[in-house]
Amino acid sequence: MMQSTSQQLLNIVSLQWATRAMGAHLKIETLAKEILAVVNARIPGKNIRLALWDEQKRHLSLEVETRSSRVRFSPSSGSEMYRKASGLYAPIFKGTTIYCPLRTQDKFLGLLIFESPSGLAALRTEQEELIACIRLASVALGNIALLMESEKRGQDMFRFNVLSRALNPTVNETEIIKILSDGVEWMMPFDASLFLILSKGQNTLYIRSKKPLHPTVLANLKKLSRETFFNFTKNALNTSALAVEINAPSGKQIRSPVKAFLNAPLITKDKIIGLICLVSFQQDQFTPRDHQNLSALAAHGAVAFENAWLYADLRRTYFSIVSALTSAIEAKDRYTRGHSVLVSRYSVAIAQEMGLSASLIESIEIAGLLHDLGKLGVPEDILLKKDKLTPAEYEVVKSHPDIALKILGPVEFPHFKGQEKTAESSPELTLKLFELADLSDEVKMMIYHHHERYAGGGYPKGIKQEEIPLGARILAVADTFEALTADRPYRKAFSTDEAIKILLKIKGEQLDARIVTVFISLLRKKGVEALRESTAGSF
Ligand SMILES: [Fe+2]
């Protein structure tokens, strides 16, 4: 009857703790102290301690005691005791101390430790109480561990969500490595990360470490061959060979040797394209949960690399088509050879100076190259005429923005750069997210409106000021300057200074004064030659 009442009381206490834990009002330190208080009340007169297993730090870290104790776990003695006790349900007797493993079915939670200087026989008389206390502590700690686990899962899901949004198709190889290594750092502890990426027959090894690596370790990491990495990938559990190779291939021991690895191959379809390897100078650093997370991250990374490479191919094809179209325009009008490329370069320089976004700058670059595309539809006798054009001929020339719009009608301009954004929802880490914008109309409208006048009265629509797309206003400044400083059949080229004077005269009327000011200051700062030879853009 007595035992039954005691058991019932403990069950009630356990249920109460479990409920408080579910409500997240109970901290593990408080719970540990409460467990000890109950155990001490049930089995008085013993020196009792509770050591909790810290899954992340991999040792028995939190120790709570009722009296001063002679034994404390150092990281190494804690690890040793973990190895002995973690697989056991039965207590371990050692001298006058009894170590009782606390566990749920699949998880080691810690140890309830009794010291009985008068001998263990005294403790054996309280076996029933002891078993009930172990059960109580296991249930209570198991519940709080479950709660903490589900909180961590939630955090992991949030982090994966942020990372997969960051890994969009517009990021390149270096950016993917940055996002993945930030992500790994965000999710698990380690001392150095290695990313081996194989693309187009090239091996690239990226190494990032939190503190300076020992020169020997660094040199040995760099020397690792592709074969070594792949053997390692295939035999994920056989890490000792790699450790020897990294730490001391010549047999010499060095300080801070690598003690633990965690690795995950990057696999696309059936091909291995790389490996993420985390290195730690601490034994037992990585948990099965870290392994799961790294594997999931590697899967995300592999898809991102594949997309980035496909994207780079698409981008190259796209730019070669734009280059071909530019050549077609210039082949038709021999007097303006090189004009489109220069207009594009001046426009990119202005846009960069104005601090516009990468995606807008790229649109301006493409629009600069194709702004006179419509001249393909203007008869050569008009285009190449040396004498003054008749009003009727001028009307034909003025139709070139319309012709360009017709040619480009079905063309969709891909948005290679995307729009950069910072993930505000992740205070622990600043990741750059990219949002894809529809730039098709943006490029077409810059081309369509590049002959509008700032004060109105231009063509094809006669719109004015801010109604004219910003890109078109930038193109107009670049186009005017390039035309002034190039030879024409009917006049010689103006010098840069003469062209600047003309720009100053027509600013506010024909051209946007703000953009003219930016361009003139750029010309004075960098010189026209530097702007002409600039390769800051994609072409
Ligand atoms: Fe034009």
Cα-to-centroid distance, 477 and ligand 1 (Å)? 12
Cα within 13 Å of Cα(269), Cβ side: 3
pLDDT given for residue 536 in this prediction: 58
More confident position, 396 or 319:
396
pLDDT given for residue 5 in this prediction: 63
Q: Determine the average pLDDT of the residues in 183-209.
A: 79
**Shortest CA distance to 231 belongs to which of 181, 180, 196?**
196
Cα-to-centroid distance, 481 and ligand 1 (Å)? 13
> Tokens 């990938």 correspond to what residue?
233
The domains located in the chain, with CATH, are 2-151 (3.30.450.40), 170-308 (3.30.450.40), 333-533 (1.10.3210.10)
Give the whole-angstrom CA distance, residue 469 versus residue 371.
14
19-33, 144-158, 243-257: which is most confident: 144-158
Residue 514's pLDDT band, with cuts at 50, 70 and 90, is: very high
Query: Is it the case that residue 292 has pLDDT exceeding 70?
Result: yes
Contacts of 71 (CB under 8 A, 6+ apart): 97, 113, 115
Q: What pLDDT, in 10s, does the model give residues 328-343? A: 888 887 777 789 999 9
Residue 535's pLDDT band, with cuts at 50, 70 and 90, is: low
pLDDT given for residue 421 in this prediction: 47
Q: Determine the average pLDDT of the residues in 293-311.
A: 88
Q: Determine the average pLDDT of the residues in 84-113.
A: 80
Cα-to-centroid distance, 78 and ligand 1 (Å)? 78
Give the whole-angstrom CA distance, residue 500 versus residue 486.
14
31-35, 126-130, 291-295, 353-357: which is most confident: 353-357
CA 277 to chain centre: 17
pLDDT given for residue 198 in this prediction: 78
Specify the range with the lowest mean pLDDT, choosing from 21-30, 263-272, 305-314: 21-30
Give the whole-angstrom CA distance, residue 194 versus residue 245.
15
Residue 71's pLDDT band, with cuts at 50, 70 and 90, is: low
Cα-to-centroid distance, 492 and ligand 1 (Å)? 19
**Shortest CA distance to 219 belongs to which of 234, 238, 229, 205?**
205
Cα-to-centroid distance, 371 and ligand 1 (Å)? 6
Query: Is it the case that residue 425 has pLDDT exceeding 50?
Result: no
Give the whole-angstrom CA distance, residue 194 versus residue 169.
23
Cα-to-centroid distance, 450 and ligand 1 (Å)? 7
Q: Are 98 and 120 in contact (CB under 8 A)?
A: yes
Cα-to-centroid distance, 470 and ligand 1 (Å)? 16
pLDDT given for residue 423 in this prediction: 45
Cα-to-centroid distance, 314 and ligand 1 (Å)? 28
Query: Is it the case that residue 134 has pLDDT exceeding 60?
Result: yes
Q: What pLDDT, in 10s, does the model give residues 371-387? A: 998 998 889 888 888 88
Task: Give the helix, strand, coil percentages of the chain, each rounded to 5.
Answer: 55, 15, 30
Report the percentage of the chain scoring pLDDT > 70.
Answer: 73
Query: Is it the case that residue 7 has pLDDT exceeding 80?
Result: no
pLDDT given for residue 224 in this prediction: 63
Cα-to-centroid distance, 489 and ligand 1 (Å)? 17
Q: Is 284 left (phi over 0), alpha (psi -120 to 50) or beta?
A: left
Output the 3-class SS for 203-254: EEEEEEECCCCCHHHHHHHHHCCHHHHHHHHHCCCCCHHHHHHHHCCCCCCC
